[in-house]
Structure 1
Amino acid sequence: MSVPEVQVQDVPEGAFLLDVRESDEWQAGHAPTAVHIPLGELQARVEEVPKDTPVYVVCRVGGRSAHAAAWLGHIGRDAINVGGGMQSWEFAGRPMVSESSQDPFVA
């Protein structure tokens, strides 16, 4: 089963963006409107993922998010992997925030 994938510049403004990285990665820097559910918690927290809208899934470089998007697609969600992950997001100059007083960065 192939996983749909888009590049960071093709993630629509206002899209549901699911970040599946670990908490320390999230705290260092993430997209301002992203929802954080670490990959290891996704199955238990899947009800937090909308059923009626496309879900763009992101991690650091695209591997974990591809797994998450494949699983979400398998259970009937419209999930799209964000190719290149947050490294590409940062490189493309897309907005980022951090959970600390430091400037946001991709850990």
Structure 2
Amino acid sequence: MSFAHLSPATLRQWLESDRPLTVVDIRDPLSFAGGHITHSQHLDNATVGAFIDQAPPETPVVVVCYHGHSSQQAASWLAGQGFSDVYSLDGGFEQWRHEHLDYVDTTS
């Protein structure tokens, strides 16, 4: 099981096309509350068990971190948990915010 890299531009296209998709943000709760990709959900050690139990394993999952590094480890781990279509967002939230500020939600 493995994951793929995803560019911010491709994620933007997927979000705009209403493609079935789950975006999970693994940054710390304060950073997430300060701004996150629209329609993303926060995922941490406390919530990952429920996520694995409830998320459809066939729905694509995009993992977001700060700069696109730790999301690769998390994406690989999720792929190992049975998710068949897992991506790590290249450049992380920082690149996303720089390129797609209109798709940043500041409400938790």
TM-score by length of 1: 0.80
- Unaligned 5+ runs, structure 2: none
Structure 1 residues 11-53: Cα deviation after superposition (integer angstroms, max 9, x where no partner): 1113321111110110110012001112x33542322433121
Higher helix share: 2
Tell me the C-alpha RMSD between the 2 structures: 1.9
Matched AA of 1:87: E
Structure 1 residues 74-103: Cα deviation after superposition (integer angstroms, max 9, x where no partner): 122021111111011011124111137xxx
* Residue of structure 2 equivalent to 1:98: 106
TM-score by length of 2: 0.79
Give the whole-Å Cα distance in 2 for the aligned partners of 1:44 and 1:7: 27
- Between Structure 1 and Structure 2, how many residues are aligned? 99
Residue 64 to residue 80, structure 1, CA distance change in 2 (3 Å): same
1:21 aligns with 2:27: yes
Instruction: Assess if the C-alpha contact under 8 Å between 2:25 and 2:65 holds in 1.
Output: yes
SS at match of 1:81: strand
1:1-107 matches, within 5 Å, as: 3-11=3-11, 12-13=14-15, 14=18, 15-38=21-44, 40-41=45-46, 43-45=48-50, 46-77=52-83, 78-94=85-101, 95-99=103-107
- Unaligned 5+ runs, structure 1: 101-107
Query: Which runs of structure 1 show a deviation greater than 4 angstroms over 4 or more consecutive aligned residues?
Result: none
Identity of aligned residues (%): 26
The structural deviation recorded for 1:63 is: 1.9
Matched AA of 1:22: D
Give the whole-Å Cα distance in 2 for the aligned partners of 1:35 and 1:97: 11
